Structure 1
């Protein structure tokens, strides 16, 4: 299977077997850009970096976890995307680069949204301003920690306020 983008809430990369499993999936899918959320790592060990990059990636950018939650990793293949700029935030990371075969500049944003409604709204407001300032096509993905409709929620109670905030952001 080939895909150009993969986004995945890995729910922790502290165990070697988890890193091996993630690397195996990345090698089998062959994406050009990968958004990983919830690494739960304050620091990426060199062996984890080597293992992840061995799946065909030239480089990566990291927003470390705060305590035992969060942590973002964005990987890319430099033959496909020539990165010109990176922006690192605690809740999101952004790459701006030129997609080689399209000769087009694009942004890629990987995010991990908070569960708290107030903080979620603040994140959506911040990202809205970033998207407007970039003034280019942007692929935005990650874990939004909310849904747009009750149909999307499996086995959990819906939060109408967060659904409205998410819909307003979109």
Structure 2
């Protein structure tokens, strides 16, 4: 199974949607997680369906930030566990080799004062130790200062 995770930084522009569609055609993933869509859930659902992912869950952006989408193709057996402004948590059953695993799409708060709550969310939903768990997304964390891009480099 192929999975694509992308921080799209906004799908409001037709050019970005075309780029997403091309990437999905080239890579042909079964599951896609998009963060920072900056769209309302109804708008994101339209984009997701146009990209060939008829099933999924979309979470509203708040103002001009955030927004999540987790989509999967009809051939996938995916069950939604929970979602919030910061995560979408699903169980994936792969019929061809009878494997069940968990995938959580995560978007950590970019503001430092909100990060602890976002990380605590992962601790709270960590309630299924018996199956493999993949956490994907944008953690808004860096290991080394030289990894940081942008104007605010003193953190």
**Pair 1:134-2:128 in alignment:** yes
Structure 2 CA distance for aligned equivalents of residues 158 and 130 of structure 1: 33
**How many pairs are equivalent?**
152
Q: Is the 2:103–2:135 Cα contact (8 Å) retained in structure 1?
A: yes
2:85 alignment partner in structure 1? 90
From the superposition, tell whether residues 99 and 158 of structure 1 become closer, same or farther in structure 2 (CA, over 3 Å): farther
Within the candidate set 140, 147, 150, 1:152 is matched to: 147
Structure 2, unaligned runs of 5 or more: none
Structure with a larger share of its residues in helix? 1
Helix, strand or coil at the partner of 2:51:
helix
Structure 2 CA distance for aligned equivalents of residues 118 and 73 of structure 1: 24
Q: Is the 1:62–1:88 Cα contact (8 Å) retained in structure 2?
A: no
Q: CA deviation at 1:5?
A: 1.5
Normalising by structure 2, we get a TM-score of 0.86
Task: Quote the RMSD (CA, aligned, Å).
Answer: 2.0
Structure 1, unaligned runs of 5 or more: 160-170
Structure 1 CA distance for aligned equivalents of residues 27 and 62 of structure 2: 30
Structure with a larger share of its residues in strand? 2
Normalising by structure 1, we get a TM-score of 0.79
